[in-house]
């Protein structure tokens, strides 16, 4: 049996937290908690080359914690759908990470691929 990512109680209600399920040395996904609801997303912005999104460790949300925000160019995403509603990737979506909660512990509910590294040398736009 695989180990849990975390306990639900480890994530403060209304906040986000990054995780590195495969031990790649960086957070390749994050979870947002709203009450008992948990939303898992890959830490890969659809705008630009799978960019990492947190502007600071575990900080994936806007100041009012109403949306997910990408620290690179400020794209904002709905917490529950991952839809980009503001910014350069309008209409694109984050990639969901299926989660399962058992006895207060959070597990990955599906096989998990390594994080994609940003490609080097590509023009930024």
Per CB under 6 A, residues contacting ligand FES are 45, 47-48, 51, 70, 72-73, 75, 87-88
Phi, psi of 40 (to 5 degrees): -105, 135
* 17 or 47: CB nearest ligand FES: 47
* 45 or 79: CB nearest ligand FES: 45
* 65 or 73: CB nearest ligand FES: 73
Name, in order, each residue with C-beta under 8 angstroms of 103's C-beta and a sequence gap of 6 or more: none
Q: How many whole angstroms separate alpha carbon 114 and alpha carbon 124?
A: 24
Closest approach of ligand FES to the CB of residue 8, in Å: 28
Q: How far is CA 122 from CA 13, 49, 125, in A?
A: 38, 9, 9
Closest approach of ligand FES to the CB of residue 25, in Å: 20
Q: How many whole angstroms separate alpha carbon 67 and alpha carbon 117?
A: 25
Closest approach of ligand FES to the CB of residue 107, in Å: 28
* 68 or 108: CB nearest ligand FES: 68
Closest approach of ligand FES to the CB of residue 11, in Å: 22
């Amino acid at each position: 049996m695989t180990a849990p990512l975390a306990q639900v109680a480890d994530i403060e209600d209304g906040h986000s937290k990054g995780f590195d399920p495969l031990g790649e040395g960086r957070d390749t996904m994050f979870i947002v908690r709203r009450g008992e609801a948990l939303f898992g997303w890959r830490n890969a912005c659809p705008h630009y080359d799978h960019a990492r999104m947190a502007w600071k460790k575990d900080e994936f949300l806007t100041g009012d914690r109403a949306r997910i925000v990408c620290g690179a160019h400020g794209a904002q995403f709905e917490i529950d759908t991952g839809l980009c509603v503001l910014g350069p990737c309008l209409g694109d979506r984050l990639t969901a990470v299926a989660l399962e909660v058992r006895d207060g512990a959070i597990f990955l509910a599906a096989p998990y691929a390594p994080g994609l590294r940003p490609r080097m040398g590509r023009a930024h736009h």
